[in-house]
Amino acid sequence: MKLTNNTILISGGTAGIGFEIAKLLTEKGNHVIITGRDQKRLDEAVAKLDNVTGILFDTTKEADTDLLVSRISADFPELNIVINNAGLAYTYDVTAGGRTWEKAGNEMETNYISLIRLTEKLLPQLLKQKAAALVNVSSIVAIAPGLSVLTYSASKAAVHAYSQGLRIALKDTSVKVFELMPPLVNTEFSKEIGGAERGIPPLQVANEFVDALAQDTYEIHVGVTAQIFELARTSPTAALNALNNLEG
C-alpha distances out from residue 213 to 102, 207, 216, Å: 35, 10, 5
Alpha carbon separation from 123 to 33, 132, 166 (Å, rounded): 17, 10, 11
| CB neighbour burial string for 149-165, b if at least 16 within 10 angstroms, e if fewer | bbbbbbbbbbbbebbee
Q: Regarding beta strands 132-137 and 175-181, do their DSSP bridges make them parallel or antiparallel, or are they unpaired? A: parallel
- Asked if residues 89 and 12 have their Cβ atoms less than 8 Å apart, the reply is no
Q: Where are the beta strands (DSSP E) in the chain?
A: 7-10, 31-36, 52-56, 81-84, 132-137, 175-181, 219-221
Is residue 112 part of the annotated active site? The answer reads no
Burial of residue 99 (CB within 10 Å: 0-12, 13-18, 19+) is exposed
* Euclidean distance between CA atoms 34 and 98, whole angstroms: 35
Yes or no: say if 132 and 122 are a contact pair by the CB < 8 Å rule: no
Catalytic residue among 90, 152, 162, 218: 152
CA-CA distance, 137 to 117, in Å (whole number)? 15
Q: Which residues are catalytic?
A: 152
